[in-house]
Structure 1
Amino acid sequence: MRKRIAALALASVMALSLIGCGGKSNSASSAGVSGDFTGTAKGMGGDVTVTLTLTDSKITGCTAEGVDETQGIGTLALDQLPGQIAETGSIAVDGVTGATITSDAIKEAAAAALTAAGLNPDDFKTAVENNGEKAEDSTVDADIVIVGAGGAGMTAAITAAEEGKSVVILESQSMVGGNSVRATGGMNAGKTVYQDENEFGEAAGVEKTLKTAAEKYADNETITALAKTVSEQWAEYQANPTGYFDSVELMELDTMVGGKGINDPELVETLCSNSADAIDWLDEHGITLHNVASFGGASVKRIHRPVDADGKTISVGSYMIPLLQENCEKAGVQILLNTTANEILTDANGAAVGVKATGASGETVTVNAKAVVLTTGGFGANLDMVTEYKPELKGFMTTNAAGAQGQGIEMATAIGAGTVDMDQIQIHPTVEANTAALITEGLRGDGAVLINAEGKRFIDEVGTRDVVSAAEIAQTGSYSWLVVDQAMVDASSVIQGYIKKGYTVTGETYEELGKAMGVDEAAFAETMNTWNGYVDAKNDPDFGRTSFANKLDTAPYYAIKVTAGVHHTMGGLTINTNTEVLKEDGSVIPGLFAAGEVTGGVHGANRLGGNAVADFTVFGRIAGKAASDYAA
């Protein structure tokens, strides 16, 4: 018996000795595990790595890295979640709304780090509960309150601050950006100096637009007058072809034709005539959009895009939004995140004099102001509201940010605001079929083609979004493949990001790519060879495409499976060219202004790609100045 007890004691000592022999990064004692442990998980753009610092088997520190996560979206999760994990000691913290994939990757990587430490991650998934304490109600006074921290809101805020006004922005989400940060293409601007850096070769595009205007819109006075002016400008240019051909009127014509002629002509003229100046204003604020390319619905190369240090194109939203936020901070603009506005305050005369909102813990935040600017975005993420106005879109996926719920429209109509074109809801033809990620229209403008399940082209790829989407939905399975080659990949950080995110299939030959796509290999190879011939001839007898760029003949080849998704709501609040919100009878609601996707009338029945950034920049500036003048 004594021998058995002695043996058990010796075994216990040896076990304790073995436990104590671990290194610094995996040390343990009767008190628990201490050290730094690392785990990795798949994020939106690539690997996300989390390092946990453990002290006696408790999380006391956390860092996260993910160099390929989306700027302004995934990077917000990387900034916010590690601190919450370290503070709470739990990996069950709430993710960042709008950055779900990156948030989940951080938590999965943290779980992997705990596993590496020899601990059970489930023991660290205790829900982090609110302690039940509500922050105190508060009141803020400002010259101008802006609701929504997207592109329009921050542009308006910068403009108003530069006018010497105190500005507060309320944002319902935990990050700035809204739909603006998701914009991938660029900004349309007519007749800029950066267009002149291109050799003009879009005669067919101009003539096609003039022909469309004559054949389809002869009874539309605005379109007819614009077409007459553009015809005269075009004839003059042909007689003396210097520089690059574009004009404010051609941009207006493209916008009106794209919108099927139901746009408000005065708002369209305001958008286009101020677009070039808006590019210069962005320049003054450190935001450079000088690379010019083709985009759907535009007669000529007009979309202005950012590039990285290597000259590769990058997504416009994730580039612009952090810089707009930086400009807001420099200008002293106060941004209240996680603060949802729910009521516009009015005085006895019906003028807007502030906003009432709800803070993160349920507290009431009241902002008293001399003017209110609504920049809350549209309602594309509110699929019940979408189907209310357009029932045939029931069941569609959406590309919209979570905050695009239509609350700005509802708050304004509650005090008598009018609306326009609410049933005009745009679907985008290139939404990644598995994740609903938006695939930029710029790929098609730069030469990509769309291929159906039979391995064939089926539409002019740079037609307007409504036309391309309708054609895609009519194909087998209601999807298509967006095809690019290595030359396009080399020129675009955006495409490289899609590859890293796992959106693409690839092949060294057309036949190999066709097999990876699951289409008829021979038919696909024939389609691609035929298309390359059309590029050489600058003529597409099948579908009348007039924008060709380069042949797709540099291996390897890549394809992304895409489908249509709810993208933009063209309808919204009725405004005038000074961004004042109008009542149903057309009279002005004093002190209330609006800009961006919350408004209607600018885009008509279909928004052209590149016009959303132009919209929020041009009208955001006007709203900021108009509100400042009113608040003087």
Structure 2
Amino acid sequence: MAARTGIIVVGGGLAGISAAIEALHHTSHAAGVTITLLDKEARTGGNSAKASSGINGVLTGTQLNLGIHDSVDAFVQDTLKSGQGKANQTLVEKLASESTQAVSWLQRDFKLDLDVIAQLGGHSYPRTHRRPDLDGKPQPVGWGIVGALGKHLSELAGLENARFKLYTGARVVRLLTAEHGGVAGVVYETVDPDSKVIQQHTLLASAVVLATGGFGGEGSRPHYLKRYAPQLVGLPATNGAFATGDGLGLAVALGAELVDMDQVQVHPTGFVKRNDPGNPTKFLAAEALRGEGGILLNALGRRFVNELDTRDHVTDAINKLCSAPDTRARHSAGVDVVAGEPSSAAFLVLSQAAANSFGHGALGFYEKMGLVQRAGSVEELSGMLRVDHGTLLKTLQDHDMARDSGLSDEFGKSTFPQNALNPLLPSGAGAEQQQLQYYWGVVTPSIHYTMGGVRFDDKTRVLRAADGAPIPGLLAAGEVTGGLHGANRLGGNSLLECVVYGREAGRQAAALVAEAS
């Protein structure tokens, strides 16, 4: 016999969690409306928990306190420019205009200290909010946000007569079709912990929210990637293996349209681990590393790109200019590529000032992971990178001369967050001199985000391929959707879209339940 709930949310990343919280807020206990969240993994969080650079917001309290004079229009224009004519302007305008309240919601209702702001690639102003180190320890922004919201939902689920129910290890395999062609519920599977037998369950509902994420984690069994972006098959990825595009197939089976499926973002900086360079899963080198002053060098010790250009342009530059035997950055000496080792890679270098701005909690974590190393001088750094000392010194000096000039450099870079060269301290500084370090790692382009997905509108309604009309009862938010980002997503917009469109999906689902009652 089929069970019934008011609203089903499929996927427990930030979009799904935001949708569930908002649906609870907009439905009443008196009406007995329940919200059920299904996640195929053993715990919620998804790729949202791995996000490291931050969440965008304009005209926030944090921006205003720091004297940053940003605007919704500037944010819209930056996002549209990044999308290269493919981004849906209506969706972009909603994202930007609601970014203020999205960040404020996290800060006010969940006490999240999103008090550090960086200017990432493609942005006109610093607007990407993240959390500061706490007692010398990092506070990862994605993990912090999904943790705070998830804790809130867990507490609600534990209440007597709770209206929220969470089922993990529950894989949705089919959407049920109502007589009017809309959604009537889902069929999901669980595995009995004792017998290991797969059990199938039917759950009916008035509204279903798809928040299942993208397909960037397909790995060795690519399906959507092989079909829509075959040139990327075999690249390393920053995604969890759970990101396999499940929601796309569910929606298409009901007639949904897919859009921009060939638009897959390759992030320019996935860390290459010193003792495991061939691992296909890369730990993301947060864009905030460059946003706070990190620079990129080829294996000759020279800069080759505006580090704060959009992700696609920086990726293209690394692929084109850091792939030859003499320009490809590596941890080990020699020209022979180790099995699985990236064919293109660059050095990421931070001065002490850039490291201080980024935060030593996260840098310390990177060091423990074998992703980042230190050098106490330019001479030591040149030795570790195996580049000519004079060439490296000139590269750092030229960067800082451009910074001091107030003009754009030869790569079109006009924003220079910090000096690349550590200052010379007075003789006799002794111990203080030892504190001025350079931090460096090897980075390579890695599959990071899929801009394509189900076509949806600004009310989060999934649209049919046949006539463009909404599929009754079916909503979607987060990376499972397409059309918002176009050809390239700006850093900081993924967490933001999860909050803005996740909350919208929750409100719309609540309205559908009210109509059905």
Give the TM-score band, short-chain normalised: 0.7 to 0.9
Tell me which residue corresponds to 2:97: 273
Question: Which of 348, 359, 366 is residue 190 of structure 2 equivalent to?
Answer: 359
Question: Which of 18, 23, 40 is residue 160 of structure 1 equivalent to?
Answer: 23
Question: Which of 233, 240, 243 is residue 394 of structure 1 equivalent to?
Answer: 233
Task: Kindly state the Cα deviation for residue 487 of structure 1 after the two structures are TM-superposed.
Answer: 3.4
Distance, in Å, in 1 between the alignment partners of 2:133 and 2:203 is: 39
Distance, in Å, in 1 between the alignment partners of 2:491 and 2:443 is: 17
Describe the SS at the equivalent of 2:95. Answer: helix
Letter paired with 1:403: F
Tell me which residue corresponds to 1:320: 145
Say if 2:8 is the partner of 1:142: no
Tell me which residue corresponds to 2:480: 598
Task: Kindly state the Cα deviation for residue 319 of structure 1 after the two structures are TM-superposed.
Answer: 1.2
Say if 2:173 is the partner of 1:342: yes
Task: Kindly state the Cα deviation for residue 310 of structure 1 after the two structures are TM-superposed.
Answer: 4.5
Are the structure 2 counterparts of residues 505 and 290 from structure 1 closer, same or farther at C-alpha, using a change threshold of 3 Å? Answer: closer
Task: Kindly state the Cα deviation for residue 297 of structure 1 after the two structures are TM-superposed.
Answer: 0.7
Indicate if the aligned counterparts of 1:161 and 1:331 stay in contact, CA closer than 8 A: no
Letter paired with 1:619: Y
Distance, in Å, in 1 between the alignment partners of 2:476 and 2:18 is: 12
Tell me which residue corresponds to 1:151: 14
Task: Kindly state the Cα deviation for residue 292 of structure 1 after the two structures are TM-superposed.
Answer: 1.8
Describe the SS at the equivalent of 2:46. Answer: coil
Letter paired with 1:450: L
Letter paired with 1:159: E
Indicate if the aligned counterparts of 1:162 and 1:331 stay in contact, CA closer than 8 A: no
Tell me which residue corresponds to 1:425: 264
Where do residues 230-309 of structure 1 align in structure 2 (5 Å cutoff)? Answer: 244-283=68-107, 284-309=109-134
Tell me which residue corresponds to 1:489: 355
Task: Kindly state the Cα deviation for residue 460 of structure 1 after the two structures are TM-superposed.
Answer: 0.3
Superposition TM-score, scaled by structure 2 size: 0.84
Distance, in Å, in 2 between the alignment partners of 1:519 and 1:539 is: 28
Indicate if the aligned counterparts of 1:396 and 1:565 stay in contact, CA closer than 8 A: yes
Are the structure 2 counterparts of residues 379 and 357 from structure 1 closer, same or farther at C-alpha, using a change threshold of 3 Å? Answer: same
Distance, in Å, in 1 between the alignment partners of 2:399 and 2:139 is: 26
Distance, in Å, in 2 between the alignment partners of 1:313 and 1:529 is: 31
Tell me which residue corresponds to 1:406: 245
Where do residues 432-471 of structure 1 align in structure 2 (5 Å cutoff)? Answer: 432-433=271-272, 434=277, 435=279, 436-471=282-317
Provide, for residues 213-257 of structure 1, a one-character-per-residue CA deviation record: whole Å limited to 9, x for no partner: xxxxxxxxxxxxxxxxxxxxxxxxxxxxxxx32111111100000
- Flag structure 2 segments of 5+ consecutive residues without an equivalent: 28-32, 158-163, 193-197, 329-343, 423-435
Higher helix share: 1
Say if 2:2 is the partner of 1:171: no
Tell me which residue corresponds to 1:579: 460
Describe the SS at the equivalent of 1:597. Answer: coil
Distance, in Å, in 1 between the alignment partners of 2:204 and 2:240 is: 28
Indicate if the aligned counterparts of 1:171 and 1:337 stay in contact, CA closer than 8 A: yes
Task: Kindly state the Cα deviation for residue 415 of structure 1 after the two structures are TM-superposed.
Answer: 0.7
Provide, for residues 570-629 of structure 1, a one-character-per-residue CA deviation record: whole Å limited to 9, x for no partner: 000011110010001210100000000000011000000000011000000000000111
Greater CA radius of gyration, 1 or 2? 1
Provide, for residues 286-306 of structure 1, a one-character-per-residue CA deviation record: whole Å limited to 9, x for no partner: 233232221111011111111
Letter paired with 2:308: V
Identity across the alignment (%): 37
Indicate if the aligned counterparts of 1:445 and 1:547 stay in contact, CA closer than 8 A: no
Describe the SS at the equivalent of 1:308. Answer: coil
Tell me which residue corresponds to 1:501: 369
Task: Kindly state the Cα deviation for residue 314 of structure 1 after the two structures are TM-superposed.
Answer: 3.5
Tell me which residue corresponds to 1:219: none
Tell me which residue corresponds to 2:441: 560
Tell me which residue corresponds to 2:195: none
Distance, in Å, in 1 between the alignment partners of 2:246 and 2:64 is: 42
Distance, in Å, in 2 between the alignment partners of 1:421 and 1:263 is: 10
Superposition TM-score, scaled by structure 1 size: 0.69
Task: Kindly state the Cα deviation for residue 170 of structure 1 after the two structures are TM-superposed.
Answer: 0.8
Task: Kindly state the Cα deviation for residue 312 of structure 1 after the two structures are TM-superposed.
Answer: 7.6
Distance, in Å, in 1 between the alignment partners of 2:398 and 2:137 is: 28
Describe the SS at the equivalent of 1:522. Answer: helix
Letter paired with 2:371: Y
Are the structure 2 counterparts of residues 314 and 452 from structure 1 closer, same or farther at C-alpha, using a change threshold of 3 Å? Answer: farther
Provide, for residues 509-533 of structure 1, a one-character-per-residue CA deviation record: whole Å limited to 9, x for no partner: 1121122122333211221122122
Are the structure 2 counterparts of residues 311 and 166 from structure 1 closer, same or farther at C-alpha, using a change threshold of 3 Å? Answer: farther
Letter paired with 2:462: V
Are the structure 2 counterparts of residues 311 and 579 from structure 1 closer, same or farther at C-alpha, using a change threshold of 3 Å? Answer: farther
Indicate if the aligned counterparts of 1:308 and 1:314 stay in contact, CA closer than 8 A: yes
Provide, for residues 328-374 of structure 1, a one-character-per-residue CA deviation record: whole Å limited to 9, x for no partner: 12333322111111101111111211111110231112221111000
Indicate if the aligned counterparts of 2:266 and 2:445 stay in contact, CA closer than 8 A: yes
Task: Kindly state the Cα deviation for residue 311 of structure 1 after the two structures are TM-superposed.
Answer: 8.4
Letter paired with 1:631: V
Distance, in Å, in 2 between the alignment partners of 1:606 and 1:428 is: 10
Where do residues 486-565 of structure 1 align in structure 2 (5 Å cutoff)? Answer: 486-491=352-357, 492=359, 493-554=361-422, 555-565=436-446
Indicate if the aligned counterparts of 1:373 and 1:594 stay in contact, CA closer than 8 A: yes
Distance, in Å, in 1 between the alignment partners of 2:102 and 2:82 is: 22
Letter paired with 2:317: A
Task: Kindly state the Cα deviation for residue 139 of structure 1 after the two structures are TM-superposed.
Answer: 4.8
Distance, in Å, in 1 between the alignment partners of 2:133 and 2:34 is: 34
Distance, in Å, in 1 between the alignment partners of 2:148 and 2:3 is: 26
Distance, in Å, in 2 between the alignment partners of 1:473 and 1:245 is: 35
Distance, in Å, in 2 between the alignment partners of 1:176 and 1:291 is: 26
CA RMSD of aligned residues (A): 1.6
Are the structure 2 counterparts of residues 162 and 567 from structure 1 closer, same or farther at C-alpha, using a change threshold of 3 Å? Answer: same
- Flag structure 1 segments of 5+ consecutive residues without an equivalent: 1-137, 200-243
Letter paired with 2:14: G
Distance, in Å, in 1 between the alignment partners of 2:66 and 2:148 is: 27
Task: Kindly state the Cα deviation for residue 560 of structure 1 after the two structures are TM-superposed.
Answer: 0.8
Distance, in Å, in 2 between the alignment partners of 1:571 and 1:288 is: 32
Letter paired with 2:486: G
Letter paired with 2:307: E
Describe the SS at the equivalent of 2:120. Answer: coil
Tell me which residue corresponds to 2:427: none
Provide, for residues 369-405 of structure 1, a one-character-per-residue CA deviation record: whole Å limited to 9, x for no partner: 1110000001111242213211211210111112110
Tell me which residue corresponds to 2:340: none
Indicate if the aligned counterparts of 1:447 and 1:547 stay in contact, CA closer than 8 A: no
Provide, for residues 395-445 of structure 1, a one-character-per-residue CA deviation record: whole Å limited to 9, x for no partner: 101111121101101100001001110100000000012351111000101
Distance, in Å, in 2 between the alignment partners of 1:563 and 1:600 is: 26
Provide, for residues 72-112 of structure 1, a one-character-per-residue CA deviation record: whole Å limited to 9, x for no partner: xxxxxxxxxxxxxxxxxxxxxxxxxxxxxxxxxxxxxxxxx
Task: Kindly state the Cα deviation for residue 313 of structure 1 after the two structures are TM-superposed.
Answer: 6.5
Describe the SS at the equivalent of 1:462. Answer: coil
How many pairs are equivalent? Answer: 451
Letter paired with 1:302: R
Letter paired with 1:485: S
Describe the SS at the equivalent of 1:246. Answer: coil
Are the structure 2 counterparts of residues 290 and 506 from structure 1 closer, same or farther at C-alpha, using a change threshold of 3 Å? Answer: closer
Task: Kindly state the Cα deviation for residue 504 of structure 1 after the two structures are TM-superposed.
Answer: 1.7
Describe the SS at the equivalent of 2:284. Answer: coil
